[in-house]
Structures are given as C-alpha cells and as structure tokens.
Amino acid sequence: MASNAAAPFWRAAGMTYITYSNICANLVRNCLKEPYKTEALSREKVHFAVTKFVDGNPQKPIVRSDSGTA
C-alpha cells in the first residue's frame, strides 16, 4: 500500500542510500570545530587490498588507499 509520495527523498532525487549517507557524513565532518574536524577527516581514509585470481589461483595482493573524497 506504499505510494510514491512515501518514497524517501534521497531515492526521489535519484541517489542511493550510500551516496546520501556519504553526503551527510561529509557535511557533519565539515561542521566540526578543531581539533575534532582534523581527527574526523583522518578517520575518513580507507585502506584495502585487491587480489586478482588467474585460473583459480590468487595473485599478489595490491594494497590501495582511498582518501574518501569524491
């Protein structure tokens, strides 16, 4: 019985929830005062490893870093 009028505004704007959530998080981080702002921005960085598989065998992983900014 849900109608389109009850759809979340982020979906009506054509965004995914993750995109909406990231925008909100960036706004909150930018509103913080020092030293909390610097601390929050440093936690935004992400480190992860990517492993490619060739013929079912893992290759050497590649460590990547993402600053979290688009």
Domain around 49: 4-65
Distance of CA 33 to the CA centre of its chain: 22
Indicate whether 70 belongs to any domain: no
Largest Cα span, the chain: 52
Measure Cα distances from 16 to 4, 6, 11, 67, 68 in Å.
16, 16, 6, 21, 17
Dig out the tokens for 30 from the structure: 């930018």
pTM, two decimal places: 0.53
pLDDT digits (tens, 9 = 90+) for 11-44: 888 888 888 888 888 899 889 999 989 888 887 7
Q: Total structural domains in the chain?
A: 1
- What string of DSSP letters covers 10-65? HHHTT--HHHHHHHHHHHHHHHPPTTHHHHHHHHT-EEEEE--EETTEE---EEEE
